[in-house]
Amino acid sequence: MRRRAILGYGAAGVGAVALMLFVGWWQVDGPGAPAPVGQRPVALTEMDFRLTDHEDNAVGPETLIGRPTMAFFGFTYCPDVCPTTLSDISGWLDDLGDEADEMNVVFITVDPERDTVETMAEYVGYFHPAIRGWTGPEEQIARVADGFRATYERVPTGSGDYTMNHTASVFLFAASGRFVTMIDYHEPREFAVPKIRRALEEEMEGAT
Annotated binding-site residue? 82: yes
CB crowding 32-48: b at 16 or more within 10 Å, else e: eeeeeeeeebebbeebe
Calculate the alpha carbon distances from 56 to 33, 102, 119 in Å. 37, 22, 12
Q: Is the dihedral of CA 78, 120, 114, 140 positive or negative?
A: negative
Residue ranges of alpha helices (H) inside the chain are: 2-28, 61-64, 81-96, 117-124, 138-148, 189-207
- Strand 69-74 versus strand 170-173 pairing type: antiparallel
Q: Do the beta carbons of residue 104 and residue 128 sit within 8 Å?
A: no
Q: Do the beta carbons of residue 159 and residue 25 sit within 8 Å?
A: no
SS3 195: helix
Burial class (CB in 10 A: 0-12, 13-18, 19+), 10: exposed
Q: Do the beta carbons of residue 105 and residue 93 sit within 8 Å?
A: yes
Q: Could you tell me which residues are annotated as the binding site for Cu cation? A: 78, 82, 166
Q: Please give the annotated binding residues, written as ranges.
A: 78, 82, 166
